[in-house]
């Protein structure tokens, strides 16, 4: 089995999000695990799993529905994005390998261009050039200045481009602060993220959330086994105190692997939306019963 966790650039219009989720769920062989939307980020994350052929087809159908319904030129949200189906990562589950995920990413990318005319950039393990391994190096307004890996134009007129990749488990975890000042969240993000000399395998942004009227530290934890998760949270709390504020709440986006939960259960249970159904293996078993 493979897992796919595409991020779509729509988190406010639930009719659109439901249509994309349905396009994926109606693919034979796909097991739709769940999805969630964030209006401030204006972004939705949909998680599904299944045999490689089914997951590839589900990803391509989801990208096509997103290209049909989302006009990126009219998009507003605090999260960086370059496409309607912005990021499409494939993740190996038990019984599959990273090479299986890479092959799936390459097949899906080819189909997304062939069927929908959306150019594709491959990243992480699926990257075809070393400078494209890191997503943030490519996913910016003008891409990375080089042609896409698949397709002959930089972006579709309304759907932009898709970043298609293969990677290990990524945990998305956000911390809301008891302040409205996005500059504080940005300073904390700089302190904890790897690229600024912080914790290994931590990517972080500082944002303002209008719906909550507070600042947020938004994190991607790309290798939970080598990142001290409690240490990251403690560092956020200490930095917040230095800025005369505090960590008010936290949340998980998507699913977490069981091993991550077993290694740092307190970290995950602290999240306001934690439930055991967010543990990936438990959710798959629940749906297969």
Q: Provide the annotated active-site residues.
A: 79
Closest C-alpha among 60, 74, 53, 62 to residue 23: 62
Q: Give the 3-state secondary structure of residue 8.
A: strand
Closest C-alpha among 153, 124, 156, 121 to residue 139: 121
183 Cβ contact list (under 8 Å, min separation 6): 206
Closest C-alpha among 6, 173, 5 to residue 93: 5
4 Cβ contact list (under 8 Å, min separation 6): 47, 48, 49, 55, 58, 59, 88, 89, 90, 91
Cα atoms in the 13 Å half-sphere on the side-chain side of 192: 32
Produce one character per residue of 64-90: b if its CB has 16 or more CB atoms within 10 Å, e if not: bbbbebbebeebebbbebbbbbbbbbb
> Among the residues of the chain, which ranges form H helices?
14-25, 52-69, 98-116, 135-138, 182-192, 229-242, 258-263, 265-269, 280-288
Residue with tokens 């990251």: 232
Residue with tokens 């997503």: 135
Q: For the chain, what is the total number of helices (H) and then of strands (E)? A: 9, 11
């Amino acid at each position: 089995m493979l897992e796919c966790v595409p991020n779509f650039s729509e988190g406010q219009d639930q009719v659109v999000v439901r249509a994309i989720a349905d396009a994926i769920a109606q693919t034979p062989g796909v097991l739709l695990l769940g999805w969630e939307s964030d209006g401030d980020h204006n972004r939705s994350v949909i998680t599904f799993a299944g045999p490689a052929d089914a997951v590839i087809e589900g990803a391509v159908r989801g990208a096509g529905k997103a290209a049909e319904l989302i006009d990126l030129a009219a998009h507003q949200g605090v999260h960086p994005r370059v496409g309607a189906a912005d990021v499409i990562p494939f993740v190996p589950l038990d019984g599959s390998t990273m090479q299986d995920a890479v092959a799936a990413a390459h097949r899906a990318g080819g189909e997304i261009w062939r069927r929908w005319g959306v150019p594709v950039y491959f990243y992480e393990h699926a990257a075809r050039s070393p400078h494209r391994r890191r997503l943030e190096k490519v996913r910016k307004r003008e891409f990375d200045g080089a042609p896409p890996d698949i397709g002959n134009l930089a972006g579709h007129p309304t759907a932009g481009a898709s970043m298609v990749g293969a990677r290990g488990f990524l945990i998305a975890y956000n911390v809301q602060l008891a302040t409205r000042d996005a500059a504080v969240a940005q300073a904390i993000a700089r302190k904890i993220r790897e690229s600024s000399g912080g914790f290994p395998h931590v990517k972080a942004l500082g944002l303002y959330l209008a719906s909550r009227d507070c600042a947020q530290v938004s994190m991607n934890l790309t290798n939970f086994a080598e990142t001290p998760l409690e240490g990251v949270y403690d560092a956020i709390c200490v930095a917040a105190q230095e800025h005369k504020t505090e960590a008010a709440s936290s949340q998980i986006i998507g699913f977490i692997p069981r091993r991550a939960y077993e290694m740092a259960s307190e970290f995950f249970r602290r999240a306001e939306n934690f439930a055991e159904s967010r543990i990936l293996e438990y959710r798959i078993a629940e749906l297969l019963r």
